[in-house]
Amino acid sequence: MMHNHPDIETALQPITEQEFSRFQKLIYGVAGIHLAPHKKALLEARLSKHIRELGLDSFDAYYKHVVAAGQDDELVRLLDRVSTNETHFFREPRQFEFLESRVFEEWRETAAAGIKPKRIRLWSAGCSSGEEPYSIAMLLLDHFPQHNGWELEIFATDLSTRILDKAQAAIWPVVKAKEIPEKYLQRFMLRGTGSQDGKMKAGAEIRSLIQFERLNLNDERYPIAHPCHRAVDRPSSALGLLVRRSRGKSERHYRPCAPCHADSLSIERG
């Protein structure tokens, strides 16, 4: 039951197997996230404080609170707490090598021949704390300079509102600078000083390309107008990586060179 003045120090009983099973089914059904049996302790640790803050006295009570009608915001908060968001800049080098060696040259040629406009729209799905879309932004600005007439847009989505706030802030520990090629680090990243010492921030040039929004990849359709200017059907495979789209024309698909983990990219030309 709910209390007006919750005592956040109240001890909760450990989550039972039955309670954990209910959360497993709920989370998988809504978000496609599978919690293996050994994740029971992790789920308990991530939820306990929040449950006490709500004034609830058990995991069963919290489950009923989440699934109650009109509790969509609480479901989002639950998914925020169970999402794993580890990522890196330029995480899969072979994917970026494939773009540079195979895809980009073709795009330049089709633009030069007038077959396609100088326009690239990219969707980074499962963008986590932003390292992937910012990596792509650096790569695109290097190969397709806007002063040469290229229009570049990146639409970045994730399930977790908490991690999207972090991605939009575009601030990371400076130790992550080692993941970024030196030429991009010097051009696109800012190093913190004073109270911001030990941090780095994405510069305005790459931040301006990216729009962030929450989206659940487990939904049957994605009600977004960007980047393809229509509702998008859920892909049949979570490993679909690069898709070059032309509205009203045939599609050409690029398969990943390496596993893409939870990440997915969709790229449109024209």
* 1 belongs to a structural domain: no
The predicted pLDDT at position 2 comes to: 47
For 187, residues 6+ apart whose C-beta sits below 8 A from its C-beta are 138, 203
* 190 belongs to a structural domain: yes
Q: How far is CA 97 from the centre of its chain?
A: 21
* 243 belongs to a structural domain: yes
The yes-or-no verdict on residue 16 having pLDDT over 60 is yes
The predicted model scores a pTM of 0.70
Examine the domain organization and report whether 231 and 166 are in the same domain: yes
* 263 belongs to a structural domain: yes
Examine the domain organization and report whether 59 and 165 are in the same domain: no
The 10s digit of each residue's pLDDT in 48-77 is 999 999 999 899 999 999 988 666 788 888
Q: Does residue 155 contact residue 122 with C-beta atoms inside 8 Å?
A: yes
* 88 belongs to a structural domain: no
Examine the domain organization and report whether 43 and 128 are in the same domain: no
CA neighbours closer than 13 Å in the CB half-sphere of residue 12: 25
* 120 belongs to a structural domain: yes
Structure tokens belonging to residue 261: 């983990």
Examine the domain organization and report whether 53 and 114 are in the same domain: no
The 10s digit of each residue's pLDDT in 221-257 is 665 554 444 444 444 333 333 333 333 333 344 433 3
The predicted pLDDT at position 68 comes to: 86
Phi, psi for residue 260 in degrees, rounded to 5? -105, 10
Q: Residue 101: what residue type?
A: S
The yes-or-no verdict on residue 262 having pLDDT over 60 is no
Identify the residue with better confidence: 15 or 254.
Answer: 15
Examine the domain organization and report whether 69 and 159 are in the same domain: no
Residue 127 CA to residue 241 CA, distance in Å, equals: 13
Last residue of some domain: 82, 111, 137? 82
Examine the domain organization and report whether 184 and 217 are in the same domain: yes
Residue 196 CA to residue 206 CA, distance in Å, equals: 20
* 11 belongs to a structural domain: no
The predicted pLDDT at position 174 comes to: 94
Q: What is the 3-state secondary structure (H, E, C) of the chain?
A: CCCCCCCCCCCCCCCCHHHHHHHHHHHHHHHCCCCCHHHHHHHHHHHHHHHHHCCCCCHHHHHHHHHCCCCHHHHHHHHHHHCCCCCCCCCCHHHHHHHHHHHHHHHHHHHHCCCCCCEEEEEEECCCCCHHHHHHHHHHHHHCCHHHCCEEEEEEEECCHHHHHHHHHCEEEHHHHHHCCHHHHHHHEEECCHHHCCEEEECHHHHCCEEEEECCCCCCEECCCCCCCCCEECCCCCCCCEEEECCCCCCEEECCCCCCCCCEEEEEEC
Examine the domain organization and report whether 144 and 260 are in the same domain: yes
The yes-or-no verdict on residue 28 having pLDDT over 90 is no
Instruction: Please compute the mean of the pLDDT values over residues 158-162 and round it to a whole number.
Output: 84
Identify the residue with better confidence: 112 or 248.
Answer: 112
The predicted pLDDT at position 10 comes to: 57
- CATH number for the domain including 143? 3.40.50.150
- CATH number for the domain including 65? 1.10.155.10
| Three-point CA angle 85, 221, 95, nearest 5° | 45
Last residue of some domain: 35, 53, 82? 82
As beta bridge partners, residue 190 has 201
Examine the domain organization and report whether 69 and 164 are in the same domain: no
The predicted pLDDT at position 191 comes to: 92
Last residue of some domain: 60, 82, 104? 82
Examine the domain organization and report whether 67 and 129 are in the same domain: no
Identify the residue with better confidence: 21 or 84.
Answer: 21
* 172 belongs to a structural domain: yes
Give the pLDDT band of residue 186 (cuts 50, 70, 90): very high
The predicted pLDDT at position 11 comes to: 73
Give the pLDDT band of residue 92 (cuts 50, 70, 90): confident
Examine the domain organization and report whether 63 and 101 are in the same domain: no
Examine the domain organization and report whether 123 and 73 are in the same domain: no
pLDDT, averaged across the chain: 79
Length of the chain: 270
Examine the domain organization and report whether 101 and 174 are in the same domain: yes
Residue 65 CA to residue 215 CA, distance in Å, equals: 23
Structure tokens belonging to residue 184: 């991009």
How many domains does one find in the chain?
2
The 10s digit of each residue's pLDDT in 120-131 is 988 888 888 899
Boundaries of domain holding 239: 93-269
